[in-house]
Structure 1
């Protein structure tokens, strides 16, 4: 019987140029290593060093990908507030 992994992550990296990259993975440590080795997303290549500044864990891939999409649609100010743990109404 296959092992079912219930860990699905949405994460935000801060690039050396101050920009943010938001992504999804089911193995956060492995994905971070890939980014650091230049084998992650095309956007992060050449923008290192990269710093993990935020992540959320989900039980399903669908929930995680839905959240990733929502975060990617946020403006910079909303992402900064998310990372700081603030809400738009704080």
Structure 2
């Protein structure tokens, strides 16, 4: 015999989902990888592409860039987040 499950609390669930979406928008950083296309025959030019492979939340990095005029840029070196300032801080 199957037990009755508790009723689903839709407002609470919706609130939790909305909070996580808002956190992602404000705090997520794109994890990217630089790739190059193979050169065409006889050409010295390579096409470089920065491909987004994931999103991640880095709370400390997020604290550094909460400004209307951002002063840092993020990039990745292998599996490490690299943060560089673009002006004096």
Q: What is the TM-score when the length of structure 1 is the normalising length?
A: 0.27
Q: Which of these two proteins has the greater Rg computed from alpha carbons?
A: 2
Q: What is the TM-score when the length of structure 2 is the normalising length?
A: 0.27
**Larger helix proportion of the pair:** 1
Asked which structure has the greater RCO (Cα within 8 Å, sep 6+), the reply is: 1
**Larger strand proportion of the pair:** 2
